Structure 1
Amino acid sequence: MPISSTVRPQTPATVWLARGRHAPGAAEDVLRRSLQQRKDSQDIDDFLELPEAEAGPSERVFEARWQVGDGVTVRARLSLTPGPDGEGQEWILVAEAEQPWNDDWPSPTGLFWPQEPDTAWDRDADADLSLREINPLPQDDKETKRLLRNAVRGGWHIHVVVHEAMTTDEQGRRPVARWLPPGLRHRVVEHRAVPQQSRGLNWALRDSGVQVPRGGAVVLPGTPAPEGYDAEDFSVRAVFLDGSEPADLVDAVKRFAALPRPLPDGAEDALTALREDWHLLNLQEELDRQRGLVAMYADALEAMTKSRDLYREAAERAHEALTAYQESGGTAPARQQPSGAPVGSPLQQLTRTFERFKGKSQRPVTPSRDER
């Protein structure tokens, strides 16, 4: 099993993550229409598109919020950026709830993007894979190995490989994601191997430490693998592709999704932006924000007042010291005395000088010759 040398923070239990690519076209227009429809149908409470000046010249950002369960608020942020090859636009979606995420809640991806089959948003960002349909594996074993190795990098999706024991009909070609809870349907990428690919498929998966039983399936560990992953626990010996629910495979995917998982590549910055750069505030949140600003300004003013008082006190003491120095005759401090010699203040030196004059004035005066 591959082990990552880089330790990444864990995905919080309250967070839901997804990533993909929209084919060339105006993805922001699709998002605007879809979000407005969701708002009109009250599937979401509200949404907001950030101005370009705040989102950045090459990024478009959409925020949305809605309620799930018993009044649990979900905040979600989707960012669009140009694809690295200039083709299409990549998107990252981060949602966070006030409570640990429940996969029975609606998929945030399904609330941002339209769900019609002919929409162009549902492609994997790193490989030409579908997020909603079955992905047939290449016929060449080396290409299969390269595809699966690259597909699981980053940790954004749950990858499932299913081997067909025999050629399936139309019922057997339907993706397993339709049996999953709503919160998992857009996080699973399903790969499908035809009967004659069994040996080549397991050769391609050898480095990952997992094998696919003939006519079965496996949930791939990904890179890095989540803590607690064991290949045997996520291997399904038989999957009946007759249109019935593959209960064992659905259970394996659910258990895998519940494992603690590191944040995917690039997710930490997206989560920070959601938490620290949120704009879509309701009335109560705006009031709390203003109160927080007032408290912050009050603390800053109090600190400035204390600093002013301390400065004034220090200035008064300096002035008193200067006055005392001037009253003592303004004599500059004596140079450093030899070792062992006492060093006195200007006032002490002045006192000793007066004593010397006093001593001289008390000496007897010898009369002059004329006075005799």
Structure 2
Amino acid sequence: MPTSATARPTTPPTVWAARGRHVGSAAQDSVRHTLEGLKDHRVIDDFLELPTEQPDEAATGVRVFEARWQAPGAVTVRARLILAAASAGGREWTLLAEAEEAWDDAWPSPATMFWPDDPEVTWDRDAATGLRLRGINTLPDDDKAVRRLLKDAGRSPWGVHVVVHEAMTPDHRGRVPLADRLPPGLRHRVVEHRAAPQQLRVVNWALEDFGVQVPRGGAVVLPGTPAPSAYASGDFSVRSVFLDGSEPTELIAAVTSFAALPRPLPEDAQEALAALREDWRLLTLAEELDRERKLVAMYAEALEAMTQSRDLYREAAERAAEALAAYREPAGSAPAGPPPQASPASPLRGLTRTLERFRGVIRAPRPSPGEDASRPAAEGGD
């Protein structure tokens, strides 16, 4: 089973997160029209389309919508939809909703608060595979295409991917999408893959890297990447799925149990969740007043800190000036001392100088008495 090299924060129990793709045109108009209709019918309290503040947002076409409504039990839900820039494959969207209490999958899906609950509107495409979120997706005939598709599905950190093997080709009673039987909060997060009877081997070959296998005539919930720490393939594998129109109780229980596991928050969702919590713009009058009070308190605290810093700096400067003055006073008032005396000459140095006076002076040797007497006699004889 794939594991993550770095630990990611767990998705909070109060958060509902999904990502998809709108493959039609006018996605922004579709969202705006849906929100306006739901507000008129008081399904949602209010909504807001955030103004474009950055030049790159205007150039790329990124749009952000916020909506607020009440879940059963008067639980306030705040949600933010981010529409990415349009591309050849459509327009990708990211939707995060957070409630005041732990999320209940029996509540209405946040997706239906922004998108029309109409099967003809093509907003419900899985971002990782491009397959439908609310339908049955038959695996392709080509083995390599099957492997590539299931690899993408197994790596997806957003949706819940379920692979169902048809032991025999079902009739119309067995062609009912699993999403129709799931709680509302799961219908737009689950991707159902259907494998034909002869595709069991290639499917299990493609799923080897994820450490899961599909029983013949059964189903398995893929762990995703990174997998939940509590995931065990045996707990989310169903040995038999009867595609005869009866309710697949075991499969529904497996999908519901998997969705309830603490799952790592997708990397791209961390920034979106921070924006939902910290940059929320759709405020009630009471919330606006509370925010302004907090801002005033924050500014007052910052001003008080600046004032204290100024006073401390002034006090430190005064003390430094006093210390400098106290240091200079003794130095200026001290009496002048006797002039410095030359150090006495060294006796050795005096002896050296005396010897130098006689350097080069050599005394002539005295003549002997005989030489003195004979020198005039010889001179006189000449």
1:71 to 2:71 alignment = no
1:153 to 2:155 alignment = yes
Higher mean C-alpha deviation, range 55-64 or range 106-115? 55-64
* Secondary structure in 1 matching 2:77: strand
Shift of 1:262: 0.6
Among all aligned residue pairs of Structure 1 and Structure 2, give the percentage whose two residues are the same amino acid. 64
2:32 corresponds to: 32
Q: Normalised by the size of structure 2, how large is the TM-score?
A: 0.83
Q: Which deviations, in whole Å up to 9, do the C-alpha atoms of 1:79-120 show, x marking residues without a partner?
A: 01125x533111000111111111111110111100111102
d(CA) in 2 for partners of 1:349 and 1:200?
Answer: 99
2:374 corresponds to: none
- Matched-pair contact (CA < 8 Å) for 1:214–1:237: yes
- Matched-pair contact (CA < 8 Å) for 2:24–2:123: no
Shift of 1:37: 1.1
Task: Kindly report which structure 2 residues correspond to 1:93-108, keeping only aligned pairs within 5 A, or say none.
Answer: 93-108=95-110
Q: Normalised by the size of structure 1, how large is the TM-score?
A: 0.85
- Matched-pair contact (CA < 8 Å) for 2:21–2:130: no
- Matched-pair contact (CA < 8 Å) for 1:103–1:183: yes
- Matched-pair contact (CA < 8 Å) for 2:200–2:216: yes
Larger Rg: 2
1:336 corresponds to: none
2:268 corresponds to: 266
- Matched-pair contact (CA < 8 Å) for 1:153–1:222: yes
Of 109, 112, 118, 1:110 maps to 112
- Matched-pair contact (CA < 8 Å) for 1:154–1:264: no
Equivalences, count: 335
d(CA) in 1 for partners of 2:211 and 2:321?
Answer: 80
Task: Kindly report which structure 2 residues correspond to 1:187-226, keeping only aligned pairs within 5 A, or say none.
Answer: 187-226=189-228
- Matched-pair contact (CA < 8 Å) for 1:4–1:223: yes
Q: Which deviations, in whole Å up to 9, do the C-alpha atoms of 1:168-214 show, x marking residues without a partner?
A: 12221111111111111111000011222222222222222211112
- Matched-pair contact (CA < 8 Å) for 1:48–1:62: yes
Residue type at the aligned position of 1:201: V
2:351 corresponds to: none
1:56 to 2:57 alignment = yes
* Secondary structure in 2 matching 1:263: coil
d(CA) in 1 for partners of 2:47 and 2:122?
Answer: 21
d(CA) in 2 for partners of 1:346 and 1:198?
Answer: 99
d(CA) in 2 for partners of 1:87 and 1:191?
Answer: 21
Shift of 1:53: 1.6
d(CA) in 1 for partners of 2:201 and 2:81?
Answer: 41
* Secondary structure in 2 matching 1:161: strand
1:296 to 2:301 alignment = no
d(CA) in 1 for partners of 2:191 and 2:83?
Answer: 21
Residue type at the aligned position of 2:13: A
Residue type at the aligned position of 2:175: R
Q: Which deviations, in whole Å up to 9, do the C-alpha atoms of 1:306-342 show, x marking residues without a partner?
A: 22323333444456567x56xxxxxxx7xxxxxxxxx
2:166 corresponds to: 164
d(CA) in 2 for partners of 1:46 and 1:320?
Answer: 65
- Matched-pair contact (CA < 8 Å) for 1:49–1:62: yes
1:352 corresponds to: 335
- Matched-pair contact (CA < 8 Å) for 1:141–1:204: no
* Secondary structure in 1 matching 2:273: helix
d(CA) in 1 for partners of 2:305 and 2:122?
Answer: 55
- Matched-pair contact (CA < 8 Å) for 1:13–1:100: yes
Shift of 1:284: 1.6
Shift of 1:136: 0.3
Name the CA shift for 1:350/1:262 in 2 (closer, same or farther; >3 Å): same
d(CA) in 1 for partners of 2:321 and 2:229?
Answer: 68
Task: Kindly report which structure 2 residues correspond to 1:176-195, keeping only aligned pairs within 5 A, or say none.
Answer: 176-195=178-197
Residue type at the aligned position of 1:184: L
Name the CA shift for 1:182/1:319 in 2 (closer, same or farther; >3 Å): same
2:345 corresponds to: none
Q: 5+ unaligned residues in a row in structure 2: which ranges?
A: 339-382
- Matched-pair contact (CA < 8 Å) for 1:107–1:184: yes
2:370 corresponds to: none
- Matched-pair contact (CA < 8 Å) for 2:128–2:156: no
- Matched-pair contact (CA < 8 Å) for 2:22–2:93: yes
Q: 5+ unaligned residues in a row in structure 1: which ranges?
A: 326-332, 334-344, 357-372
* Secondary structure in 1 matching 2:300: helix
* Secondary structure in 2 matching 1:222: coil
d(CA) in 1 for partners of 2:306 and 2:238?
Answer: 67
* Secondary structure in 2 matching 1:56: helix
- Matched-pair contact (CA < 8 Å) for 2:154–2:210: no
